[in-house]
Structure 1
Amino acid sequence: MKVLRLFLLLLLPACTHVNPPQLQAEDGLHNLPDQWRNNASVTEAAHVPDQDWWQSFGSQALAGMVQQAQLESYDIAAAIARVEQAQHLAVVAGAPLLPEVSAAGNIGRQQRLGGSSDANRLGTYSAGLLASYEIDFWGKNRAAYQGALSNLRASEFDRDSMRVSLGANVAISAIEAIGLAERVEIARRNLENAERVLALVDSRYRAGAATAIEQAQQQGLVASQRRTVALLQQQRGNTEAALATLMSRPLAELPLVAASVRALQPPMSDAGVPSELLTRRPDIALAEARLLAADADIQVARAAMLPSIRLTGGVSTASEHLRDLFDAPLYNLAAGLAAPIFNAGRLAAQRDAAIARRKELLANYRQAIIAALSDVEAALNRIAGLEQQAIAQTLALENAERAFALAQSRYQAGAETMLTMLDTQRTLFTAQDLDLQLRQQRLQASVDLYRALGGGWQRSQ
């Protein structure tokens, strides 16, 4: 009875709850800005990004591609598998918090050399249960378990961060593919227009109303337009190949995006205040979880330098006959103390390495916050700049269309030179192409803002 009381008394400290590691106030940044520098484009009706933010662009085709990529991506599947690995490793780390029990059994037969009678044969039967437990005086086992849980959360945050990034990359690539398809059509229309002008110049040349120089200039413009069409087709193919890779499927199975850049609406999103960003970004949560795991590793390394006590107990029995196996069982209880004396500085070096590792992860955590703030500022600045450029480019396109129409009609009437018409023609194509590119970039900037704000991610409880 006294032995049992001693066992329970030694077990009591191990049952004491040890709080999981927490970030200290000095670990974060103290100079977070109160507001964003570039936030003029955000309206009062804006809202925090939803988890299905891609629906805001008004294209079911685009939304379907993002959803399909998140469901079928092999990168996401690999991240999910890493979460499962972390779950099992957490079970492994938590096992030392409970006693370990094992069973053993043995059957044997012995016979004296030179003898063949039954009297010279001896049978042995044995069975036993063995239990062992390490008293967690210094919280080493619980710290190891808390570290494994932090690594599990880190793997979950890594999976969520990958989902946000994948959705944004698919949306950006899909918008680029849509824009390139429309740019190809613009280039083809301008090529057809250049060929019609070339036919007009050839007719005037045969009639003696145009020079060979004018004919050569227009032929060069047609060749340049053909080169532009081929270049844009090549860029479109490259973008579609990259999009197929993001969606984890062959290019031949890539769904066609039946949409138009002009039909897509750039949604607005409220950037909130910078301090809220710390709870919206899964990559910041990932850096935080890794830092907490490093705190637990330091506790484990420090506890390894202190003495440890292991309790063992067991019940065993043995007999020469199977029927008498359980007639005289024996039990034993023991406690062992082990303390490190000399290890050539190995344990101290492991502790110092864990401390240095925490310093590295603390710097990474702070840098993740800085990078997140910069991402939002860059996205807001890009949106503001693109909107101002789009306003100016719309006016430039209207003037280019009017100038080309006037130059073409005046050239047909012989009141304008070929050089003027060529200039207005090149200006029109450039204005059309740039207008479409600005619309495309504005849509992609909205995606960048959604990604910078965390893509509607929320930390699960």
Structure 2
Amino acid sequence: MNNIQKITYAGFACVLLSLGSCKVPSVVSKEENKTVPSAYANVSQDSTNTAKLQWKAYFTDRYLENLIDTALKNNQELNITLQEIEIARSEVRARKGEYLPFVGFNAGAGVDKVGRYTNIGASEATTEIMPGKETPEPLQDYKFGLSASWEIDIWNKLHNAKKSALSHYLATVEGRNFVVTNLIAEIANSYYELLALDNQLAIVKQNIEIQNNALGIVRLQKEAARVTELAVRRFEAQVLNTKSLQFNIQQQITETENKINFLVGRFPQTIDRDRSAFENLTPAKVQAGIPSQLLENRPDIKQAEMELMAAKLDIKVAKARFYPSLGISAGIGYQAFNAKYLLDTPESLIYSFAGDLVAPLINRNAIKASYISANAKQIQAAFNYERTLVNAYVEVANQLAKMNNMEQSYTLKAEQVKKLNESITISNDLFRSARADYMEVLLTQRDALESKFELIETKKQQMNAFVDVYKALGGGWN
């Protein structure tokens, strides 16, 4: 048996030994639970779903529509997310290229000088190419040709890596949709908050006028010796307190406008709006559909699902690293020590073809660690999917209950405001006729102002629930 045969047999023995040692460590994976309740509490099982509505059909205020339109073009966070999609798309291209053959062109020229009294120099003292002449010194070298290499994807390692990258890409797309949904909701909520502040400011100004009138009455009563200076001072203090409220509200208006401008992606400016529209706002009826539709409509659920799919594929990629990989390389071209012989065929023709089978044999700790880590990430992704699904259901249930409760609360608050407005007139009349003291007038005015603020706050919460239930159902991105 010659040396070449010994080396060949030794190589095959190593491969067989490697194949025998490809035992994959045992791990415990987790399957995600996609089960959701059949219906929301106190909601019919009608499959009609408001989330299918485009946002322009859901929000009908033209000023709000303009703000959302502008934000979808200029919002910086959204545009950052779009670049993340491009990054993920490029990763898919890169993974796809890894399981295709690599072909390249190479060319080169060089010169080589060896010592004459070396073994190579001595053997080149004569040559059969040019009998009677020594090998040229220094020896030139010219070559060009094509080379190719290809890893045969026996275990689908490279294909699974590409599919994993594709799942990550689809997850970034869903992430962008989730950003759109949240952006629309945040602008709408801020817009309704701005309208509520406008109405609070208007009410404060109305109350300042009412309180000034009451202060005038008290001053007349003091001149008539029917009340003391204490009553005048208490009324004056109430007027000053109410006047200070308008500056607090104006500051909140400024901050809310600037928040909207930031979301829209521009520097501070006045937000166009119909300040009188708030009182007439009535949330439209919302169709919640059935909980299983969340899996289709919620971008964050679909994003978690795509990430979970990618994690499962990553386990397969990590597992395939335990097995041998087969590579093929080939090349063809021309090489000669003189440029004039470069294209002589077949004398200057060179070619090669080789295949190699490589498998991990000793010290596979890095591969094991990668495999165990991939499995742990898959378990994380499964729990994250379940958490996202439960959170989505809870959000919808909360907002549906909030819409119902705020509607009933608003009805009662409106009746309370009506009664207190009437009581202001009554208390003033009684005070003029000395049938009520000034404290009753002060307390009535304060209660009326607080109730009006609470009514506006309840209306705002109604509109917030109207916005948030649309977001919770997965509306806006489509």
Q: Normalising by the residue count of structure 1, what TM-score does the alignment of the two structures yield?
A: 0.87
Contact 1:57 1:266 in 2 (8 A): no
2:100 is aligned, of 98, 101, 115, to 98
Contact 2:111 2:139 in 1 (8 A): yes
1:151 is aligned, of 162, 168, 179, to 168
Contact 1:204 1:210 in 2 (8 A): yes
Question: Which residue of structure 1 aligns with residue 261 of structure 2?
Answer: 244
Contact 2:30 2:379 in 1 (8 A): no
1:73-106 superposed Cα distances (whole Å, 9 cap, x missing partner): 0101000000000011111111122100111101
Distance in 2 of aligned mates of 1:405 and 1:168:
41
In the TM superposition, what is the alpha-carbon distance from 1:229 to its structure 2 partner? 1.7
| Equivalent position SS for 2:289 | coil
| Equivalent position SS for 1:93 | helix
Distance in 2 of aligned mates of 1:56 and 1:297:
40
Question: Which residue of structure 1 aligns with residue 453 of structure 2?
Answer: 433
Tell me if 1:256 matches 2:272: yes
Question: Which residue of structure 1 aligns with residue 184 of structure 2?
Answer: 167
Residue 293 of structure 1 aligns to which amino acid in structure 2?
A
Distance in 1 of aligned mates of 2:248 and 2:56:
30
Residue 201 of structure 1 aligns to which amino acid in structure 2?
V
Give runs of aligned pairs for residues 141-220 of structure 1, distance below 5 A: 141-220=158-237
In the TM superposition, what is the alpha-carbon distance from 1:47 to its structure 2 partner? 4.9
Residue 164 of structure 1 aligns to which amino acid in structure 2?
T
Contact 1:144 1:296 in 2 (8 A): yes
Contact 2:48 2:289 in 1 (8 A): no
Count of equivalent residues: 427
Give runs of aligned pairs for residues 12-161 of structure 1, distance below 5 A: 26-30=31-35, 32-39=36-43, 47-50=49-52, 52-109=54-111, 123-161=140-178
Instruction: Summarize the Cα distance change of 1:191–1:50 in structure 2 as closer, same or farther, 3 Å threshold.
Output: farther
Contact 1:53 1:450 in 2 (8 A): no
Residue 102 of structure 2 aligns to which amino acid in structure 1?
E
Instruction: Summarize the Cα distance change of 1:405–1:55 in structure 2 as closer, same or farther, 3 Å threshold.
Output: farther
2:331 is aligned, of 314, 332, 337, to 314
Deviates more, 1:425-434 or 1:443-452: 425-434
Distance in 1 of aligned mates of 2:247 and 2:47:
43
Instruction: Summarize the Cα distance change of 1:35–1:197 in structure 2 as closer, same or farther, 3 Å threshold.
Output: same
Deviates more, 1:87-96 or 1:319-328: 319-328
Question: Which residue of structure 1 aligns with residue 352 of structure 2?
Answer: 332
Residue 43 of structure 2 aligns to which amino acid in structure 1?
N
| Equivalent position SS for 1:337 | strand
Distance in 1 of aligned mates of 2:53 and 2:82:
19
Deviates more, 1:224-233 or 1:177-186: 224-233
Question: Which residue of structure 2 aligns with residue 447 of structure 1?
Answer: 467
Deviates more, 1:231-240 or 1:140-149: 231-240
Residue 155 of structure 1 aligns to which amino acid in structure 2?
T
Distance in 1 of aligned mates of 2:420 and 2:267:
42
Distance in 1 of aligned mates of 2:425 and 2:186:
40
In the TM superposition, what is the alpha-carbon distance from 1:223 to its structure 2 partner? 2.0
Contact 1:281 1:457 in 2 (8 A): no
In the TM superposition, what is the alpha-carbon distance from 1:52 to its structure 2 partner? 3.2
Distance in 2 of aligned mates of 1:426 and 1:46:
46
2:393 is aligned, of 369, 373, 394, to 373
Distance in 2 of aligned mates of 1:336 and 1:243:
62
Residue 360 of structure 1 aligns to which amino acid in structure 2?
Q
Contact 1:146 1:296 in 2 (8 A): yes
1:119-158 superposed Cα distances (whole Å, 9 cap, x missing partner): 8675432102111111111110001000000010011011
| Equivalent position SS for 1:261 | helix
| RMSD (Å), alpha carbons | 2.4
Distance in 1 of aligned mates of 2:180 and 2:146:
49
Question: Which residue of structure 1 aligns with residue 128 of structure 2?
Answer: none
Instruction: Summarize the Cα distance change of 1:46–1:419 in structure 2 as closer, same or farther, 3 Å threshold.
Output: farther
Distance in 1 of aligned mates of 2:407 and 2:205:
27
In the TM superposition, what is the alpha-carbon distance from 1:55 to its structure 2 partner? 4.3
Query: Structure 1 vs Structure 2: percent identity of aligned residues?
Result: 26
Give runs of aligned pairs for residues 381-400 of structure 1, distance below 5 A: 381-400=401-420
Residue 192 of structure 2 aligns to which amino acid in structure 1?
I
Question: Which residue of structure 2 aligns with residue 401 of structure 1?
Answer: 421
Distance in 2 of aligned mates of 1:58 and 1:337:
66
Contact 1:280 1:456 in 2 (8 A): no
Instruction: Summarize the Cα distance change of 1:97–1:45 in structure 2 as closer, same or farther, 3 Å threshold.
Output: closer
